[in-house]
């Protein structure tokens, strides 16, 4: 029996199906951000730093879903673009905290608008009810499996 592309898609294993959806969403968000001169990783970093507080690299890496070495490269690039600043933690001089710069906060507004617009497009493609259900199911699965 030969497998057609339609059959192959319907017979996907669970992990492969999740991966394909994740890749599609990340690709679409990445393209929207690329048009703004940013990457998804940079947007995630700035969105975490958008609270105005300084954060340690370990906190940022966890939020941005990046390994420590990858985050270091991303933050180095963002420092060179004056999007973020590094400062020694006053409470613990051994720690370095990362803050969004004024330029970073301005970029965050533009980047977030691009992400929100693309997310609306994704929700439209999925259908509002299906998108809400998918979000609920994924959050439930993460709580049960990821915690």
Q: How confident is the model at residue 91 (pLDDT cuts 50, 70, 90)?
A: confident
Between strands 55-56 and 96-100, the pairing is: antiparallel
Supply the pLDDT for residue 14. Answer: 87
Mean predicted confidence (pLDDT) in 122-137: 95
C-beta neighbour count of 36 within 10 angstroms: 16
CATH code of the region 39-114: 1.10.10.10
Q: How far is residue 139's CA from residue 111's CA, in Å, rounded to a whole number?
A: 24
Supply the pLDDT for residue 7. Answer: 54
Residue pair 104/83 in contact by the 8 Å Cβ criterion: yes
- Every domain of the chain and the residues it spans: 39-114
pLDDT at 147 over 80: no
pLDDT at 113 over 70: yes
């Amino acid at each position: 029996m030969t497998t057609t592309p339609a059959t192959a898609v319907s017979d996907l294993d669970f992990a492969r199906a999740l991966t394909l959806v994740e890749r599609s969403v990340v690709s679409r968000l990445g393209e929207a951000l690329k048009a703004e001169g940013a990457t998804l990783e940079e947007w995630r970093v700035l969105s975490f730093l958008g609270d105005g507080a300084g954060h340690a690299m370990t906190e940022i890496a966890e939020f941005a879903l990046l390994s420590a070495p990858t985050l270091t490269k991303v933050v180095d690039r963002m420092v060179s673009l004056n999007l973020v600043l590094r400062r020694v933690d006053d409470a613990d001089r051994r720690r370095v905290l990362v803050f969004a710069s004024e330029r970073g906060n301005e970029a965050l507004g533009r980047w977030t608008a691009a992400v929100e617009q693309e997310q609306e497009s994704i929700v439209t493609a999925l259908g509002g009810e299906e998108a809400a259900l998918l979000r609920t199911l994924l959050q439930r699965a993460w709580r049960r499996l990821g915690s």
